[in-house]
Copies of this chain bind each other. A is one copy, B any other.
Amino acid sequence: MIDSFTPKQVAVALQVSESSVKRWCDQGAIRTDRTLGGHRRIPLPFLMEFLEATNRRLVDPSAIGLDPTDLVFGHGSSMRQKQSLVTEEPAMLTQFEKALLAGDESTCRKIVSNWFAMHGGITSLADNLLSAAFKSIGDRWQCGTVEIYQERRGCEICCQLIHELRRLLPEPPGNAPLAMGGTASGDQYQLPNQLAEIVFRENGWRTISLGTNIPFASLLSAARKHMPKVFWLSVSHIENIEQFVVDYNHFAKNLPKGVMLVLGGQALNEQVRPSLSYSAHCDSMLQLANLARSARGSLQPKAGHI
């Protein structure tokens, strides 16, 4: 996959004029590299940064090599006809779920990068594609029409893809606010935790993901050591509710002042939540993204000077 693009390519992908792209580059709205001869080159991470900052979408992802073609029919023979790209969300979701269950990594990759490009961000990807797909797969599993290994293999694929996306995001600057988080003992679900991390990253935070299945004592220790501005806790599974509530509240109470505690996850239903004390709760990655944006702004009094 190509790593950087010319203004013209970007212009086609965004469906704006080349002049505008060049101007945006020169204004600094799009960070830009230059060739030795002075030609502009726009690396993908910078483009993503711009998309996110301006809430834009790639109208034509194929212009920059994100190829949505033949998602329907796999690596076929010499198929001439480009099957009309499936770009409606429900159809993509169905295809994605199918590819996940089949273990078809490359198709999953295409759909994910396509979705990512079209919506310009990870938040929508997480809420509307990944979560939706696994929710549906989970339902099917309970019906017995899906094997455990299929669900798990799908997680593996998503884990890989998320790590690829994460690598595409620009490195956060050293003075960015710090978010830290993970899952507690007994919770092995990686995906939601990974997603939480890159949502923060996408919104300009430095992040430390502590991983899954970590005792509250060690979570606390990490928080005290690094003093993050936000601590996220992803809760997808609770083994022993009473124990969890006790341990959690002890953790929350001993968290240093100034650390904002954010909760999220399926397992936090109406029964559990009232027993917990926290700064914020998120039902979706969209909420988390909004929180990340506002917390970043409000808690950073150091107003930039340009």
Say how far A21's CB is from chain B's closest CB, in angstroms. 10
Question: Given A16-B35, A36-B54, A75-B46, A106–B171 Cβ distance below 8 Å?
Answer: yes
Task: Mark A26-46 against chain B: 1 for CB-CB distance below 8 A, else 0.
Answer: 010101010110000001011
**Does A240 lie at the interface of the complex (its beta carbon under 8 Å from any beta carbon of B)?**
no
Say how far A105's CB is from chain B's closest CB, in angstroms. 9
A31 near B153 with CB under 8 A, answer no
Copy number in this complex? 2
Q: Choose among B20, B36, B209, B214 the residue that contacts A148 (Cβ–Cβ < 8 A).
A: B214
Q: Which of A117-125, A158-166, A243-251 lies on the face that meets chain B?
A: A158-166
User: Closest residue to A157 on the B side, CB-wise?
Assistant: B209
A211 near B160 with CB under 8 A, answer no
The residues of B that contact A300 with a CB separation of less than 8 Å are: none
Question: Given A208-B103, A208-B153, A148–B215 Cβ distance below 8 Å?
Answer: yes
The residues of B that contact A56 with a CB separation of less than 8 Å are: 33
Question: Given A3-B15, A36-B54, A148-B218, A156–B209 Cβ distance below 8 Å?
Answer: yes
Which chain A residues have a beta carbon within 8 Å of chain B's beta carbons?
A: 2-4, 15-16, 20, 24, 27, 29, 31, 33, 35-36, 43, 45-46, 54-56, 59, 74-77, 103, 106, 147-150, 152-153, 155-156, 159-160, 163-164, 166-167, 170-171, 173-174, 182, 188, 208-215, 218-219, 221-222
What are 19 A-B pairs at a CB distance below 8 A?
A: A16-B35, A20-B35, A29-B36, A46-B75, A46-B76, A75-B170, A77-B174, A149-B219, A149-B222, A152-B182, A152-B210, A152-B211, A152-B218, A153-B210, A153-B211, A155-B211, A164-B164, A188-B188, A188-B213
Question: Given A170-B75, A171-B75, A149–B3 Cβ distance below 8 Å?
Answer: no
Tell me, in angstroms, the Cα distance from A43 to B170 when the chains sit together: 22
Tell me, in angstroms, the Cα distance from A205 to B82 when the chains sit together: 24
B16 near A147 with CB under 8 A, answer no
Tell me, in angstroms, the Cα distance from A279 to B166 when the chains sit together: 39
B75 near A149 with CB under 8 A, answer no
B74 near A170 with CB under 8 A, answer yes
A214 near B164 with CB under 8 A, answer no
B15 near A2 with CB under 8 A, answer yes
Tell me, in angstroms, the Cα distance from A193 to B128 when the chains sit together: 30
A-B pairs with the 8 shortest C-beta distances? A74-B171, A163-B163, A152-B211, A148-B218, A149-B218, A149-B222, A3-B59, A156-B211
Tell me, in angstroms, the Cα distance from A24 to B37 when the chains sit together: 9
The residues of B that contact A36 with a CB separation of less than 8 Å are: 20, 24, 27, 29, 54
Tell me, in angstroms, the Cα distance from A36 to B22 when the chains sit together: 12
